[in-house]
Amino acid sequence: MLVNQFLILGAVLFCIGVYGVLARRNGVLVLMSIELILNAVNINLIALGALQGPEAAVTGQVFSLFVITIAAAEVGVGLAIVLLIYRNRTTVDLDEVDLMKG
Amino acid sequence: MDGLDDIALTAAVFLPLVGVLAMMFTPRQHEADHKVMALIATLATFGVGVYLLLRFDYARADALQFDVDASWIEVINSRYILGVDGISLPLLVLSMFVCVLVVVYSWNHFPEPHNPKAFLILILILETGMNGTFVAQDLILFFVFFEVVLLPMYFMIGVWGGEQRQYAAIKFFLFTLFGSALMILSFLALFFQGGQTFAIAELVAVASDNIPRSTQILIFGGLFMGFAIKVPMFPFHTWLPDAHTQAPTQGSVILAAILLKLGTYGFVRIAIPILPEAAQAWAPWIGGLAVIGIIYGALGCLAQSDMKRLIAFSSVAHMGYVMLGIATLTDFGINAAVFGMVAHGLITGMLFFVAGSVKDRFHTLELSRLGGLLIQSPRMGWILGFCAMASLGLPGLAGFWGEFPVILAAYNPAEGLSVGLFRGYMVVAAVGTVFAAGYLLWMFQRAAFGTPKEEFADTPIPGMHWPEYVAWTPMLVLIVVLGLFPNLLFGLTDGAVGTALAAFGGGGN
Amino acid sequence: MLENIWVVPGLTFASFWLILFFGKRLPKGGAEIGIAAVGLAFVLSSVAVVEWNDRPATEEVEAVSTGEHGEAEAHGSEPDAHEEAEDEHSFGEVRALAVDLAAAEAGEGEAGEHEAEPIRSAVERNLTWFSFGGVDITVGTAVDGLTVILLFTVTLISLLVHVFSTNYMHGDVRFTYFFAALSLFTTGMLLLVVSSSLLQALFGWELMGLCSFMLIGHWWEKKPNSDAAMKAFLTTRTGDIGLLVGLVIMFFAAGQTFDIAAVNEAALTGAMGETVLLVGASALFVGVIGKSAQFPLHTWLPDAMAGPTPVSALIHAATMVVAGVYLVARLYGVFWSAFDIEAGGVNPIAVIGGITVLIAAALAFVQTDIKKVLAYSTVSQLGYMVMALGVGAWTAAIFHLFTHAFFKGLLFLGAGSVSHAVHSFEMRDDMGGLRKFMPTTFVTFMIGSLALAGVFPLAGFWSKDEILLGAAENGYRLFEVVGLIGAFMTAAYMTRCVYLTFFGSYRGHGHPHESPPPITVPLIILAVFSVGAGLLNAPGFEKFFELTENRVFLLAGIEHHSFEIVPAVVSSVVVLAALALGGLLFFAGRLPRGVTARSRAARAGYRLLANKYYLDHLYTGVVVGSIKGPIARAAYWANQKVIDGVVNGVGVASTRAGLWVYRHIDQRVVDGAVNGAGFGAEGFGGILRTIQTGRVQQYGALLFGATAVLALGLVIFV
């Protein structure tokens, strides 16, 4: 069915995003990977909402609009943090940022 | 019985405490007031004793009289039961009597660190405990009074005692407490196994039926430890010489005259009537320890160089006779034992009085330093001789009736006991009389005969004071009177002893 | 008087208390009370003797024939009659009736052998003293011939001793106490003599022990005196172990009674088992050995000479030591059947008595102290009495007791008189030739010595002779020989004693003089009795036998032997030979000098005697020494180290255990648990912090991993 392809796309995007979050050291790239994960979720929301009928489709689309909005804000805050880290430590390598170590 | 009879025993027990109360509110500087108050309290108590003697129904000396039975601790079914019979009455009156004399003697004999207020208060508390023990007819009540005695004596030794008072006091306290712990265990066992009651009379009726023989023997063991330590029997006697040697004179007198009797009284009142079968099983052992005590105490005496310690060891020997009498489980034996308790109380009490007065004058009781007492203070010397004679069991004085009938009884112990064994005990006990003569006369010879040693030859030795006369005369008279008219006591105890031995068919003679 | 005989000891007892409390305030220091009381007691005793003499002989007693059970059974009913009649004064007659019936039933066949003789019945009076264990213990008096004779003797001697002492003890520091003690001493003996029960007799017995302690140690400032007093008391007390045990055995064997008559009756009728009887009698006899100074417990008596001389006279003549003899005589039924005295041959009583006779007489030869000679002589004579009882010569024994009291009292008071003059008791150093200075003392002392030696017709002759005769007739030939040897030795050592004291030349200091009347009058009175007392039992008269014959005597069937001429001659010859030998040795100066230097055997013998057979070494050194020394010390060591050690050990161990518990358990485990909780939390945190790397990606990885695991779990399990 049609939904499957969407879901598969979402899953692939999610996986790429997770990989990016876990494996990349560059903070900017991690933020971008998070965007990928969020977009994977958006695709899933819209696909599954369409599957449930017109009412649910609208709900799914509204949800994803929220997610896009929040993702934008999140990237704004995230990039600001990365920028500050860079300013303080002249690097955006996340391995170096372990000030929260217990 | 009128109302007075009902409260008589309660008064006998608690009157001294009233005196204590009054004394507590008097400043301690008013020494004369304290003496008078203590004297009044003990005299009033003794007055109750006289009242009891007058009102006592001698025809039924075997039954409890002046009995009181009120509820006390209901949770554990322990009741406030008091009563006296022919066994406890003489001991009760003896206790009251001795306390009066001790207070009189104290008039000008307060040991260091002085403080008459505290000292007299302790004596009064002691009296409450002792009187209570002799009249209590409920195990818990008995136990409470039995323990009340401990503390004042502990302080008396620990505060007013000699050089090693701390050691002696703690030894006394711990030893006795150890026995008490086992005793209370046995009391509890009696309660749970014997019918959920602490009343002695009820336990006598039911305990031996309810409890299997092997358990009885165990319970008796606990009681034995509690009482034997108090007596004290060989080999639990070692607290006694220390306590006696270190205690102030008054403490020694009370200890010898009354406290030791609490143990033997416990055997006669509680252990034997409640658990007759166990008593029979234990009797040969008790008898054996008793005769060992007789010889052993005598040998201990011969090794002493201190007069007071010697007298203390003689107590071990004398209480051996008492315990042998009890161990025979016969009328003869237990009558003699009760007589022996009273006689020993009077005689050994007197000996300690004299020893105390000697120490007051010479500041030592080392026999090697004493001598010639008869020259320096003839009356005291003769009194010492008289007491020594009484103590070695001279016929005609009270001590004889605690000794000879015991030997008599041991010839023919109660049914079920080994006749041969007890006859062996009899011979040993008879040999003990020679030993007693030996160490007492030896002591007398060294203290009173001869001439004063150089160090005291020029020391003026004051004669006897009036408190000494007042305190000693009644005891000396009683020693003679009881010696000549033993029926005064045997008449009282005989019936009650028969009751105590009811389980043996009224005594096996 | 016979029923109220308790007055006699009562008087002296009252006198004791009066002297004690008021004596010092009286002009004569209490002596007058003592003399008055004892004098009155003497008068009353004399009245008792007369009354007893006038008492009609109403009781007929048939001998129990030992070995025939039929008769024993017939007599078995007697105790019942006895009890029923106990409260009646005349119960002797009732009992006599019962015996008559029994005799009529059982005695027919043997009527010819033992004739039923009438005797005076004993006068008894009893009160219940106390009762316990369902048994009434009585006190009371029982008076028969033996009692009245002894009452008479004791009060007479005591009276004379009192009179003697007023002068002899004059100026003594404790004059009043001395008289008080004399009164009490007399009371003790009188109480023993009148007792109807053994327990009461024990009172008198021990009272004498006490008084002997007080009087022997009268001059207690000197240690040897108080040592002697203690030795006397402890030695007799050692014998009393036996007495106590014997008393107890008799009490039960006789059916729970201390009544002397009942005990005798039970012993004679076979109501007691043989073993019990034998053990009981042996135990009692041990008491007698102690009190009557028999071998081997005789050592205290010579030491007792440390007391004032009048006391020695009283102890030796009338009280204390004869108490033992009296007890055997009183309980003769028991000893008679226990040791089967009738059978003859050998028995313990006779053997002990015989040994005592010889060893004591031998010791008397080596003494230089006049009182010690007399002391050993007393021991020897007591041995005579005990031996007499052992050979069945009952009458002879108490007759000897009776006569001996007079001449031994005389000799002691005479010695006192001598020492009064020369202030010493040493015969060798301070005496000699005194017959010129002290004629009265000399004459009376001579009479006493001859009486003791047994010279016809003085008192000692008759009583000694009767003993020898009894031994011979009852089948105790051996002891007759012992008696003869004893008589020989007695005569010889008395010759020596008299010679050293009164003959030769005076060796002391100063000028001895005759004593004043308070001393000589008692001597004269005693001398009269020493001469005449023996005639009481002279042949054909035999008043003494008639007076003392009692129920036990007849029940047991004891034979009484009248005077016979042949043995009397034999013994007289022996005594005269001894006197002659003594005279030869001492008076004629033929004493062989240097025997001990020449002969080793003689030297050894002398040393043995001088050391008193080493018995004192054994007792004082070995027995007393070891008990008082090593044994007592060992026991005390055990007490302090072992028993107290255990106690202290328990104390120390519990303290240590407490410390250990505190250190290891309390401080480590309990407190450790509390602390451990903290440490544990900290450590766990330390482990956990390693997870907290601070790396966001690691957190994310964990997050995802965990979510994956949870998702997986969700898939699988739900």
**Does any domain span residue A95?**
no
Name the amino acid, one letter, at C548.
Answer: T
CA-CA-CA-CA dihedral for C347, C350, C355, C357, to nearest 10:
-170
C106 pLDDT band (50/70/90 cuts)? very low
* Residues of C whose CB is below 8 A from B300: 632, 635-636, 639
* Residues of A whose CB is below 8 A from C696: 30, 94, 97
- Residue B234 makes CB contacts below 8 A (sequence gap 6+) with B289, B290, B292, B293, B296, B297, B316, B320
Among C20, C132, C138, C655, pick the best mutation site for testing chain B contact (most B Cβ within 10 A). Answer: C132
pLDDT score of C67? 44
The string of pLDDT tens digits covering residues C241-300 is: 889 899 888 888 888 888 888 888 888 887 788 888 888 889 999 888 888 888 888 888
* Residues of C whose CB is below 8 A from B408: 248, 251
B505 pLDDT band (50/70/90 cuts)? low
Cβ–Cβ under 8 Å, residues B218 and B311: no
Q: Are B299 and C627 in contact (CB < 8 Å)? A: yes
Query: Strand C123-132 relative to strand C135-143: parallel, antiparallel, unpaired?
Result: antiparallel
The string of pLDDT tens digits covering residues C528-565 is: 888 888 777 777 777 777 777 777 777 777 777 777 77
- Separation CA C48–CA B184 (nearest Å): 66
Q: What does the buried/exposed string (b/e) look like for B208-243 if buried means 16 or more CB atoms within 10 Å of the residue's CB? A: beebeeebbbebbbbbbbbbbbbbbbbbbbbbbbbb
C72 pLDDT band (50/70/90 cuts)? very low
- Residue B446 makes CB contacts below 8 A (sequence gap 6+) with B367, B368, B370, B371
Return the higher-pLDDT residue of C589 and B59.
Answer: B59
Q: Are A102 and C704 in contact (CB < 8 Å)? A: no
Which of B37-41, B47-51, C382-386, C463-467 is predicted with the least confidence, judged by mean pLDDT? C463-467
Q: Which residue of C has its CA nearest to A23?
A: C697
* Residues of C whose CB is below 8 A from B448: 220
Give this prediction's pTM.
0.80
Three-state DSSP state, C504: coil
Mean pLDDT of chain C: 79
Q: Which of residues 31-90 of A touch C (CB under 8 A)?
A: none
Cβ–Cβ under 8 Å, residues C201 and C192: yes
Chains that touch C (3 or more CB pairs under 8 A): A, B
Give percent above pLDDT 70 in chain B. Answer: 98
Residue C711 Cα, gap to closest chain A Cα (Å)? 15
pLDDT score of B67? 83
DSSP string, B397-465: SHHHHHHHHHHHHHHS--TTS-HHHHHHHHHHHHHHHHHHHHHHHHHHHHHHSS---HHHHTSPPP---
* ipTM of predicted complex: 0.87
pLDDT score of C80? 41
Can chain B be said to touch chain A, i.e. do they have 3 or more Cβ pairs within 8 angstroms?
no
**Does any domain span residue A98?**
no
Tell me the mean pLDDT in the region B111-129: 86
- Separation CA B236–CA B323 (nearest Å): 13
Chains that touch A (3 or more CB pairs under 8 A): C
Q: Which residue of B has its CA nearest to C236?
A: B434
Cβ–Cβ under 8 Å, residues B51 and B105: no
Residue C171 Cα, gap to closest chain B Cα (Å)? 17
pLDDT score of B459? 75
**Is residue B98 classed exposed, middle or buried when 0-12, 13-18 and 19+ CB atoms within 10 A define those classes?**
buried
Asked whether residue A77 carries a pLDDT value surpassing 90, the answer given is yes
Asked whether residue B463 carries a pLDDT value surpassing 90, the answer given is no
Asked whether residue C99 carries a pLDDT value surpassing 50, the answer given is no
The string of pLDDT tens digits covering residues C634-691 is: 777 777 777 777 777 777 787 788 788 777 777 777 777 877 888 888 888 888 777 7
Q: Are A100 and C692 in contact (CB < 8 Å)? A: yes
pLDDT score of C592? 61
Residue A101 Cα, gap to closest chain C Cα (Å)? 4
Distances (CA, A) of B20 to B34, B124, B414: 10, 7, 46
Q: Which of residues 283-302 of B touch C (CB under 8 A)?
A: 296, 299-302
Specify the number of domains making up chain A: 1
Distances (CA, A) of C360 to B470, B485, C177, C447, C480: 51, 42, 33, 22, 17
Chains that touch B (3 or more CB pairs under 8 A): C
Q: Are B441 and C635 in contact (CB < 8 Å)? A: no
Which of C688, C693, C700 faces A22 most closely, judged by CB atoms?
Answer: C700
Q: Which of residues 608-627 of C touch B (CB under 8 A)?
A: 624, 627
Which of C129, C223, C234 faces B437 most closely, judged by CB atoms?
Answer: C234
**Does any domain span residue A97?**
no
* Residues of A whose CB is below 8 A from C688: 102
Query: Which CATH number does the domain housing residue A71 bear?
Result: 1.10.287.3510
Q: Are A101 and C694 in contact (CB < 8 Å)? A: yes
Q: Which of residues 301-320 of B touch C (CB under 8 A)?
A: 301-304
* Residues of B whose CB is below 8 A from C639: 238, 296, 300
C710 pLDDT band (50/70/90 cuts)? very high
**Phi and psi based region of residue B370 (left: phi greater than 0; alpha: psi -120 to 50; beta: remaining):** beta
Q: Are A22 and C688 in contact (CB < 8 Å)? A: no
The string of pLDDT tens digits covering residues C318-369 is: 788 888 889 888 888 888 888 888 777 788 888 888 888 888 888 888 888 8
Which of B175, B235, B437 faces C237 most closely, judged by CB atoms?
Answer: B437
pLDDT score of B245? 86
Q: Single out the residue of B257, B272, B356 nearest to residue B308, CA to CA.
A: B356
pLDDT score of B158? 86
Q: What does the buried/exposed string (b/e) look like for B427-462 if buried means 16 or more CB atoms within 10 Å of the residue's CB? A: bbbbbbbbbbbbbbbbbbbbbbbbebeeebeeeeee
**Does any domain span residue A13?**
yes
Q: Are B427 and C223 in contact (CB < 8 Å)? A: no
DSSP string, C582-641: HIIIIIS--PPTTHHHH-HHHHHHHHHHHTGGGHHIIIIIIIIHHIIIIIHHHHHHIIII
**Does any domain span residue A57?**
yes
Tell me the mean pLDDT in the region B12-37: 86
Residue B332 Cα, gap to closest chain C Cα (Å)? 6
B442 Cβ under 8 Å from any chain C Cβ: yes
**Is residue A99 classed exposed, middle or buried when 0-12, 13-18 and 19+ CB atoms within 10 A define those classes?**
exposed
* Residues of B whose CB is below 8 A from C647: 171, 175, 238-239
* Residues of A whose CB is below 8 A from C689: 102
Q: Which of residues 113-152 of C touch B (CB under 8 A)?
A: 129-135
C614 pLDDT band (50/70/90 cuts)? confident
- Separation CA C321–CA C300 (nearest Å): 11
**Phi and psi based region of residue B64 (left: phi greater than 0; alpha: psi -120 to 50; beta: remaining):** beta
Which of B178-182, B303-307, B339-343 is predicted with the least confidence, judged by mean pLDDT? B303-307
Which of C690, C695, C700 faces A95 most closely, judged by CB atoms?
Answer: C695
HEC readout, C69-97: HHHHHHHHCHHHHHHHCCCCCCHHHHHHH
- Residue B55 makes CB contacts below 8 A (sequence gap 6+) with B5, B8, B66
pLDDT score of C113? 46
Residue C657 Cα, gap to closest chain A Cα (Å)? 46
HEC readout, C315-380: HHHCCCHHHHHHHHHHCHHHHHHHCCHHHCCCCHHHHHHHHHHHHHHHHHCCCCEHHHHHHHHHHH
The string of pLDDT tens digits covering residues C157-202 is: 888 888 888 888 887 878 888 888 888 888 988 888 888 888 888 8
- Residue B268 makes CB contacts below 8 A (sequence gap 6+) with B87, B326, B334, B337, B338, B497, B500
For residue A69, give both structure tokens: 């909005």
pLDDT score of C591? 60
C14 Cβ under 8 Å from any chain B Cβ: no
C88 pLDDT band (50/70/90 cuts)? very low
- Separation CA C438–CA C514 (nearest Å): 4
Q: Are C130 and B485 in contact (CB < 8 Å)? A: yes
Tell me the mean pLDDT in the region B335-347: 91
**Does any domain span residue A101?**
no
Asked whether residue C584 carries a pLDDT value surpassing 80, the answer given is no
Q: Which residue of A has its CA nearest to C703?
A: A22
pLDDT score of C621? 67
- Residue C455 makes CB contacts below 8 A (sequence gap 6+) with C461, C491, C572, C575, C576, C579
Residue C680 Cα, gap to closest chain A Cα (Å)? 18
Which of B235-239, B440-444, C592-596, C621-625 is predicted with the least confidence, judged by mean pLDDT? C592-596
Q: Are B427 and C241 in contact (CB < 8 Å)? A: yes
Q: Single out the residue of B402, B341, B327 nearest to residue B130, CA to CA.
A: B341
**Phi and psi based region of residue B180 (left: phi greater than 0; alpha: psi -120 to 50; beta: remaining):** alpha
Asked whether residue A27 carries a pLDDT value surpassing 70, the answer given is yes
End-to-end CA distance of chain C: 127
Can chain A be said to touch chain C, i.e. do they have 3 or more Cβ pairs within 8 angstroms?
yes
- Separation CA C175–CA C516 (nearest Å): 18
Asked whether residue B453 carries a pLDDT value surpassing 60, the answer given is yes
Q: Are B445 and C230 in contact (CB < 8 Å)? A: yes
Which of C688, C690, C697 faces A22 most closely, judged by CB atoms?
Answer: C697
For residue C248, give both structure tokens: 């107890």
Q: Are B299 and C636 in contact (CB < 8 Å)? A: yes
Residue C686 Cα, gap to closest chain A Cα (Å)? 9
A2 Cβ under 8 Å from any chain C Cβ: no
Q: Which of residues 155-184 of C touch B (CB under 8 A)?
A: none
**Is residue C424 classed exposed, middle or buried when 0-12, 13-18 and 19+ CB atoms within 10 A define those classes?**
middle
- Separation CA B430–CA B82 (nearest Å): 38
**Does any domain span residue A96?**
no
**Does any domain span residue A77?**
yes
Mean pLDDT of chain B: 86
Q: Which residue of C has its CA nearest to B406?
A: C248
Question: Which domain covers residue A71, as residue numbers?
Answer: 3-89
The string of pLDDT tens digits covering residues C399-455 is: 888 888 888 888 888 888 888 887 777 777 777 777 778 888 888 888 888 888 888
Cβ–Cβ under 8 Å, residues C48 and C1: yes
Quickly count: other Cβ atoms within 10 Å of residue C191's Cβ.
Answer: 26
Distances (CA, A) of C565 to A63, B42, B508, C458, C462: 164, 80, 59, 16, 12
pLDDT score of B347? 92
pLDDT score of C709? 92
Q: Are A94 and C695 in contact (CB < 8 Å)? A: yes
C594 pLDDT band (50/70/90 cuts)? low
pLDDT score of C588? 66
